[in-house]
Structure 1
Amino acid sequence: MSSQRPRIGLTGGIASGKSTVASLLAERGALIIDADRIVRELQEPGGAGLAAIVEAFGPAMLTPEGQLDRAALGALVFADDQARERLNGLIHPLVRAEAAARLAAAPAEQLVVEDIPLLVETGQAPSFDEVIVVQAPLEVRLSRMERDRGMSREQALGRIQAQASDEERAAVATQLIINDAGLPELEAQVRALWGRLLASREG
């Protein structure tokens, strides 16, 4: 077995099925470091992320109970590119530091997959030995966002267009998973990927 653990990144656009792929990899034994979950933890009351957001954007970002007002923050950053860049500049270094700490603490023999929605947008692809990209057709993604997240079609399209394109993600992928044929087909792709990752590690 290789003495150095490969860095494996997982990414995909909103509603592409990336979280399902992460769950399937976890079932097979991967440790998932979920950037979105780290963000949420940092944004809890008392968290460094929440403090930074309030300092940057003011107390209007808080609910009366002192929680992050996600709707207010979302409305701000999706309407203002400069605000979004400022937010990312505050949060991303905190997330990367926490992810690095979790990676360092993982058992040496365990394969670790870093689930990073904005891996491409933040220019992190060169840091990884493997970049797994999950994609799904645009219409499928829009339908999922309308159905599962209660978004209008316009809102859903705006979220998708604020992220990297399929072509930009595919350009850095070492493994492209196409989620367009249902769960059994998706599971088959993940099973093949997992076998290759294990074989690569052992080789």
Structure 2
Amino acid sequence: MRLISPDASPRGWPLTGALALALLTLGGCSQMPKLSELTSATGDKVLGFVRPYRVEVVQGNVLTKELLASVKPGMPRAQVQDLLGSPMLTDVFHEERWDYIFTIRRQGTEPQRRHVVVWFEGDALKSVDAPSDIPTERDFVASINSFKPKGDSPKLALSEAERKALPAPAKQAPAAVEPMGPVRSYPPLEPRS
């Protein structure tokens, strides 16, 4: 009993197989979830359990309340640049304005962006326009510090009472230092007369 007719050509089979494979592949694509369904609302996890690596991006100058308090009206441009650093943006058409922009994106922390504008009159500092949420140095370090120790942090210093309770160190006589290596004798530096 023969299932294939004698006039059927086996040359059409690879084309039929490729067509069937393409239809199955396209049918499977319709069942794939959308990218928005794969990631969480914040975009932190893919498929609900895989957390992709995010590159830390830091751009600009970190300006804190302490740095901004150090610049005073009337300072020359060079001194302002020494204190605050080079501005991120200077414009040939607006030479009296320097823009300091700071952005940071770190995994596990909220992104930060600050924009400070420094105004000059000639070569002297006229004013500084800064947002009200400029942090102190301590607050800035706390905002980017992603390391949170578990439990109580270790004690780093002794109190005065604990220092007095410590035993006094034992007195040791200084050891005589002997020369190391071969001992050499050198001729006198002055000529003999």
TM-score, normalised by the number of residues in structure 1: 0.19
TM-score, normalised by the number of residues in structure 2: 0.20
Q: Which has the higher strand share?
A: 2
Relative contact order higher in (CA < 8 Å, ≥ 6 apart): 1
* Rg larger for: 2
Q: Which has the higher helix share?
A: 1
